[in-house]
Every structure is written in C-alpha cells, then in structure tokens.
Amino acid sequence: MVMYVRLTQMREGEKGVVVDIRGGPGIRQRLLGIGITPGTKIWVIKAGRPGPYIIAIGNMRLAIGHGAADKIIIRREA
Amino acid sequence: MGCCDVKNDPKISNKKGLKIVALAGNPNVGKTTIFNALTGLRQHVGNWPGVTVEKKEGIMKYKGREFLVVDLPGTYSLTAHSIDELIARNFILDGNADVVVDIADSSCLMRNLFLTMEILEMGVKNVVIALNKIDLAKKKGVKFDIRKMEKVLGVPVIPTNAKSGEGLDELKKAIVAMIDGKITTNPVIPVYEEPIEREIEHISKLLTGTVLIERYNLRWLAIKLLERDEEVIKLVLNHLGHGKMDEILQHISELEQYYKRSLDIVIANQKYEFIDNLIHQFVIHQGEFKETLNDQVDRILTHPVYGFLSLAAVFYALFKFVFTFGTPMQEHLDALFSNLGEAIAPYIANEMVRGLVVDGIIGGVGAVLSFFPLVFLLFIGMAILEDTGYMARAAVVMERVMRKFGLPGKSFIPMVLAFGCNVPAVMATRALDDERDRIITMLINPLVPCSARMVVITFLAGAFFQEHKALIAVGIYMISILLALLSALLIGKFIIKGEESPFVIELPDYLIPSWKTVIIHSWERSKEFLRKAGTVILFGAILIWYLSNYPVPVGSGLSYAEKLGKALEPFSMLMGLDWKAAVSLIFGIIAKENVIATYGILYGVEEGEQALAILMRNAMTPLQAFTLALVTTLYLPCIATIGAIRAEGGNKWALVAVVYNLALASIIGILVYHLGFFLL
C-alpha cells in the first residue's frame, strides 16, 4: 500500500497525517490558517470524486473542494 | 498600512473619543452573539470603506461609561491573502484598538489559538481572550484549567457562553479594567526552531535603523517577511531600499532550501507545535476522535442525491418564507402610501408641488419602504440558515455546479432568490466569503428574471405566441439564466481577475440559533439597506415622475419621457423597437412591470390586457415582441436593484452593473432581431 497519497486518493474512514501542502501561496495560506499543516492528524469522513471531501481534525470538520484536496499530501496510517 | 484606512462610519461616530474595543476571532465562534450581548441595540451595521465587507459597530455601556465596540471580520489567520484578513490585521496593527477581545471556540481550541498567536505576535499587549462555547466544550469532554491557561498565555481568559449570557459580565469587567490600566499582561509569543529564530533576529536588526521601529513590531515584520507576505515586503522595501531587501530575500531563499519548502508552511507548522505544547499545560482532558450524530447528518445533507433534495426543500422553504410573508406586506405598504398620497393631495393647491409630493416623494418613499419586509425577512432566513450551520452544507452541495462557472457554491443562494426579487437577492451576496465572488455574483444577479419581469414575459408571450407561449416564456428564462452564468465566467476572466478562492469551509456543529441575535442582526442589516439604497430609489422615482409630467403629462406625445424615447428611437430600431418601446423601457427602470403599463398609457387603453394585446399585435411582429421581452429582461436593473447593488458594492459596482446590463441587452437585442429576421 502506498504510504504517501493525496487527500483525493484517501477513502472514507481512513486516517493519516498531513505531510505537505502543494500549490500557490493563496491556497497554502488558506489551508494553513484553517488548521491543515504538516503534522496534523486527519480522519476522512466523506471521500470520493468529485468531492467536496469532508475531514475531521480533532473536533473540527472541514469540507474541502477537489482542487484544494488534491494539493494536500497525506501519510496514510493503518 | 495604507490598504484599508479605517474611518469611522458617520452613523456611530467616535467624536466623544470613546475607547475602542475590537472583537477578533474565527468564523462561527459566536462573535456576533457576543457583540450583541455587549452592545445591545446601540449598534450599527455598515461596510468597511471601499469594500463589500460588513462592518459592525456598537456602544458598550458599563457602570455609566461608554465604549465603542468594533466587530472585526471573522478570520482564521491574518495573512494578506484575503480582504477580510487584511482589514482585521490593519485595524489591530494601526493601533486603533485600546483592547482586542479575541473570541475563541473552546471546543476547537487548537485552531482558534492560531489566530490568538498571530495577534500576540504583532506585539499587542491589551488582549482579553473570551473562551466561548464553554458548554459545548464540556459536552465534548474538554476540560480547562483557566488559571493555568491565563498564566501560560499571559493574558486574561474569561470562559463564556454567549448564548446563555454566562461570563459576559466578567468579560466586560476585564475589558474595562484593562482599559483603565489595572491589568498588566505578559503575552506569550511563539518560539520557532533555531534556524528560523536566527533569521528573525537578523532581519529585525536590519530593520532597527528604520522608522518602522516606531510603528511596528519588528519581530512580526521579520516573520511576515519570511512568509513572503506581499504587503509587508512592499512596506519594508519602501523603508529599506532594494540593496538590503535583496540581502534579506537571499537569506529567505537559503532558509527555504534548508527546509525544502516555503517558510509559511514551516512557520505555521511550528506555530501549531508551539500551541500544542501550550494546550497540554492547561487542557486537562481532550475529547477524542469519534463519529458524531453531526457526521451522520452531514453524510446525508452533502450527499450528491439526498443533498440536492434537501437543498431544494430548504430553498423552497426560504423562498416561500420571504415571498409568501413579504409580498402581502409589500403590497400593504404600497397601498398605504398611495392612500396617503390621495389623502394629502386635496390639501395641496399648487399643482406642481402636489405632483412632486404625492407622486414623486410619497410614491418614492413608498417604493423604498415597500422593499423593507422582503429584505428583512430574507436577512432573518439567511441568519437562521447560517446560525444553524446549514449554509455551510448548502455551499458544499452546490460547489461542484457553481464552480464550473467560476463561482463558489454559496453564490447559488442569491441566484435562486432573484427569481422572486433581485433586491433581497443582491443583499444575500453577503453570505459569500470572498470579496471577488461577492462582486461577480452581485453583477450577474440582475440577469436572473425576477417576478416583475415574469409579468412582462408572460404578457408578451400570451399576446403574440398563443400556441407556444409557455415555450417562448421558458426560452426567455433559459436564455437569461445562461447569459447570467456565462457572464460570471466572462466577468471573472476579464473584469475582476484574481485567484479563484480555494474551497475550504468549516462545517460547524448544528445549533439552534440565538433568536435575539438573528432578529437584531437582520434588523440592523435591513436598516442599512434603507439608508443606502433608499436615496437611489427616491431619486429615481422623482426623476421619472418629472420626465413623465413635464412639460405636459405622458400620453400626449410631448412629455420629456416621450421626447427622450423618440430621441432614442434610431438606436432602439436596431433591435426593431420603436419609440413606444423605448419610453416603456425607461419607465421599466422604476419597476419592470411598468413596461406593459406604459404601453397601456401610450395606446390610451384604460382597462383590460386583452384590448392592449390586440392593439400591440397590430403594431408589432412576434419577433419584435420576443425581442422586447428579452430586452426588458436583460437591460438596466430596476432602480431598487441598482440601489441594492450600491448599498452592497458601492457606486463603482452599481455603475458597472448598469453599463454591463445595458451593453449586454443591446447586443443580444440587436443579434436576436437580425438573426430572427434572417431566419424567419
């Protein structure tokens, strides 16, 4: 199983840790500000094309569009 | 920092030199509820100068003293990438606030403290943290040691539950004590890894020799430089010159190579690690990952099929709520004002003054006020959708569809409302998070046919296309909706360029709204509509009254309105429309249903649509009628809509809307008429 995937490749119920954010400064700052930074533990609540994807970070729930989700690199955790 | 100078709105002025309390915080933390609790009814909603971002100000009273409370836009951070964040950041940075109240959602503290750290990092000392939704945190199993938290953060922390009012007295007390200098703070500042810290120190030293030191916290400037913040780079470049700036940029590049990524990521990352360490010192028990009822509801409400169905149901309800209750009220107000006019008329001897007062002023004020119920009900509906948390889910469902046209999911709301009336629809663009999206949605909104235009469309379709009237009417609707969506693409590409905002949205827990907040807020927003749109509507009403009554009343062929129509005829004939159409369209600017009524006057038909239909059929071909219906739908927004656009976007965008719609209607009108002529 591939360890490093994009958020768009994750499946419902899977957990992982954010390792990187690609993309321009606009999208990066937006994701960083809302709490998606390398090291953040996430849990995928809703996945599947064409999005939006829903993830949990702690008690917070975020919906992320396909474009932005494709920029988030995750290390999958079993 | 130049971009957004904060001037005080004329409505609530700070002539008394009141001390200023600024409220900062993430979206969905209950900021508005706290604002209402602090200020009560002594508040005013407006816009920040020059932008479409809502600004709320109010007066807080405490033991006979008054303080000015300014509600800053809700933001997650303070970067230069969104207008909301820049407004909040510049307000704090320019030292406008005597106290900054940072409102944090205690059930989601990690992310909320990120903004706290950004504020403290600016070197602001007078900060009070309101740890809000404390009840929700308890429910989620999060416990705090408040004393410890105050010690660790170095600023006062007041647990609050804005909805029940818990902790609000303590909050006021802390704010006032801080203004009086009775509280000394020692704010914690995030510390980064050694290579970053070394560079911060290096840059700070370079900046020490400049006047920047008098106005800004140098450490903050240095951190923002590392993040390559555009505004700060410009600022520093002005004071430092290219030589030293290049040296700094060189250092930044080296550091980026060392970390193998942009420093904004590295700094945010380390800031979160720093916060994580802090939290462990005062959070006794943290809730754990578990699926909640919320998540299960979300799966349904954002589902591709069930999501759409529930969205349709919710919007049907919103539409019904606004127009079923609003339209009768609107009609009552209309009738009230025309009765008032009739009652007053006999008492005014001078014919001109009577006309001006009765038709111009009373009619105009009536027109303005008659929109108030619609706007007020819309704001209530929207506040309920927002406060319950449904708005975020609606945005998720519509995201995919609207994104194809370069718009976010939430722009669907104003589009739907426009079928009823464009005025509340334009006001609904407030729900959009991004300034660029807001303006585009506002500009295309008049292209969606409202119920007044439906009257014109169905009349002309019925009069000229008996057999295919439904097809023709639907066709006109389709064409205008298509044009609205294509316009969104076009405007986004050529007129308001800029990065499409990435779709990332928080899905707040479903909550029962605070009714007091919903009503106060909707009331204040509606009052702002009256104030800003009212002048335009009133002026338009008086102007049209003048044109149609001078030098002689319309119908004679000699009024200014008819002369204007005849002057415009050479142009309107390009669309196959004679001067009568031109005059009718001029009157349609007041309200689109006037287009047909004006034809009635021009043909001297007193009563009966049937008679008018026959007369018009003799004078016009079906193609001309089709073009007229289409042009009526597309040309100038009615005066109330122009007023609404002015209220939301300012004079500039109201003008753009007028020019764009006129140009589009002309082009389409000419095209359809000639194409039709050629084809038929």
**Mutating which of B77, B84, B105, B111 best tests the A interface, going by the most A Cβ atoms within 10 A?**
B111
Please report, for the domain that includes residue B39, its CATH number.
3.40.50.300
First to last CA, chain A: 10
Q: What residues does B22 pair with on adjacent strands?
A: B70, B100
Instruction: Tell me the nearest-neighbour CA distance from B194 into chain A, angstroms.
Output: 19
Q: According to the model, what pLDDT value does residue B3 have?
A: 42
Q: According to the model, what pLDDT value does residue B245 have?
A: 92
A1 compared with B660, residue with greater pLDDT: B660
Do the Cβ atoms of B265 and A50 come within 8 Å?
Answer: no
Instruction: Tell me the nearest-neighbour CA distance from A12 into chain B, angstroms.
Output: 11
Do the Cβ atoms of B287 and A68 come within 8 Å?
Answer: no
The per-residue pLDDT for range B524-574, each reduced to its tens digit, is 888 878 877 788 778 887 888 888 888 888 777 788 988 999 999 999 999
A27, A29, A35 ranked by CB distance to B110: nearest: A35
Interface of A with B (CB under 8 A): 20-21, 23-40, 43, 45-46, 50-52, 54, 56-65, 67-68
At residue B6, does pLDDT exceed 60?
no
Q: Which of B105, B27, B136, B76 is nearest to B510 (CA)?
A: B136
Q: According to the model, what pLDDT value does residue B420 have?
A: 83
For A57, the closest chain B residue by CA position comes to B289
The per-residue pLDDT for range B583-606, each reduced to its tens digit, is 999 888 888 888 888 888 788 776
Cβ atoms of B414 and B538 closer than 8 Å: no
At residue A2, does pLDDT exceed 90?
no
Cβ atoms of B339 and B348 closer than 8 Å: no
Same domain, B199 and B258: yes
B268, B503, B506 ranked by CB distance to A68: nearest: B503
Same domain, B146 and B246: no
Q: Which of B229, B263, B285 is the last residue of a domain?
A: B285
Q: According to the model, what pLDDT value does residue B184 have?
A: 92
- Structure confidence at residue B9 as a pLDDT band (50, 70, 90): very low
**Pick from B239-253, B373-387, B584-598, B602-616: least confident:** B602-616
- Structure confidence at residue B1 as a pLDDT band (50, 70, 90): very low
For the segment B7-34, the average pLDDT, to the nearest whole number, is 81
Distance CA(B249)–CA(B263), nearest Å, equals: 12
Residue B250 lies in a domain: yes
ipTM: 0.94
Q: Which of A27, A30, A4 is nearest to A16 (CA)?
A: A4
Same domain, B167 and B213: no
Same domain, B28 and B142: yes
The per-residue pLDDT for range B196-236, each reduced to its tens digit, is 999 999 999 999 988 998 889 999 999 999 999 999 999 99
Do the Cβ atoms of A45 and B228 come within 8 Å?
Answer: no
Domain count, chain B: 3
Same domain, B50 and B158: yes
At residue B2, does pLDDT exceed 60?
no
Locate B425 and state its tokens.
Answer: 């629809």
B79, B272, B507 ranked by CB distance to A62: nearest: B507
Please report, for the domain that includes residue B224, its CATH number.
1.10.287.1770
Do the Cβ atoms of A67 and B503 come within 8 Å?
Answer: yes
Percent of chain B with pLDDT over 90: 49
Q: According to the model, what pLDDT value does residue B521 have?
A: 83
Same domain, B235 and B279: yes
Cβ atoms of A19 and A28 closer than 8 Å: no
B79, B269, B396 ranked by CB distance to A38: nearest: B269
Q: According to the model, what pLDDT value does residue B7 have?
A: 44
- The residue whose two tokens read 């095209």 is B671
At residue B4, does pLDDT exceed 60?
no
Instruction: Tell me the nearest-neighbour CA distance from B74 into chain A, angstroms.
Output: 12
For the segment B403-413, the average pLDDT, to the nearest whole number, is 88
Q: Which of B417, B375, B413 is nearest to B394 (CA)?
A: B413
Please report, for the domain that includes residue A24, its CATH number.
2.30.30.90
**Pick from B105-114, B337-346, B636-645: least confident:** B337-346
The per-residue pLDDT for range B473-529, each reduced to its tens digit, is 889 999 999 999 999 999 988 888 776 778 888 999 898 888 888 998 889 888 878
For the segment B605-626, the average pLDDT, to the nearest whole number, is 85
Q: Which of B125, B156, B179 is the last residue of a domain?
A: B179
- Structure confidence at residue B193 as a pLDDT band (50, 70, 90): very high
At residue B417, does pLDDT exceed 90?
no
CA dihedral (B393, B398, B404, B410) in degrees, to 10, reads -70
Which residues of A fall within a CB distance of 8 Å from B504? 30-31, 34, 36, 62-65, 68
Same domain, B171 and B28: yes
Distance CA(B423)–CA(B448), nearest Å, equals: 12
Q: According to the model, what pLDDT value does residue B370 have?
A: 81
Q: According to the model, what pLDDT value does residue A35 have?
A: 86
Q: Which of B148, B179, B210 is the last residue of a domain?
A: B179
The per-residue pLDDT for range B36-71, each reduced to its tens digit, is 999 987 888 888 887 888 899 999 999 999 999 999
**Residue B602: which domain range?**
533-679
Same domain, B628 and B654: yes
Instruction: Tell me the nearest-neighbour CA distance from A2 into chain B, angstroms.
Output: 22
**Residue A49: which domain range?**
4-77
At residue B135, does pLDDT exceed 50?
yes
For the segment B114-119, the average pLDDT, to the nearest whole number, is 96
Same domain, B164 and B259: no
Q: For the residues of A29-72, what is the DSSP string, one character each?
A: HHHHHHT--TT-EEEEEE--TT--EEEEETTEEEEE-HHHHTTE
Computed over its alpha carbons, how large is the radius of gyration of chain A?
A: 11
How buried is A3 (Cβ within 10 angstroms: 0-12 exposed, 13-18 middle, 19+ buried)?
Answer: exposed
Distance CA(B86)–CA(B224), nearest Å, equals: 13
Same domain, B29 and B160: yes
Which residues of A fall within a CB distance of 8 Å from B407? none
Neighbours of B387 (CB within 10 A): 22
Q: According to the model, what pLDDT value does residue B633 have?
A: 94
Residue B610 lies in a domain: yes
Which residues of A fall within a CB distance of 8 Å from B299? 45-46
Residue B656 lies in a domain: yes
Q: According to the model, what pLDDT value does residue B107 have?
A: 86
Same domain, B157 and B207: no
For B392, the closest chain A residue by CA position comes to A63
Residue B357 lies in a domain: no
Q: Which of B658, B632, B630 is nearest to B645 (CA)?
A: B658
Q: According to the model, what pLDDT value does residue B289 have?
A: 65
At residue B278, does pLDDT exceed 60?
yes
Mean pLDDT score of chain B: 88
**Pick from B285-289, B434-438, B447-451, B574-578: least confident:** B285-289
Same domain, B54 and B153: yes
For the segment B344-370, the average pLDDT, to the nearest whole number, is 81
Residue B115 lies in a domain: yes
The per-residue pLDDT for range B286-338, each reduced to its tens digit, is 666 677 888 889 989 998 899 999 999 998 898 888 888 988 888 888 888 88
Do the Cβ atoms of A45 and B291 come within 8 Å?
Answer: yes
Domain count, chain A: 1
The angle at the Cα of B362, spanning B357 to B363, to the nearest 5 degrees, equals 110
Q: According to the model, what pLDDT value does residue B291 have?
A: 79
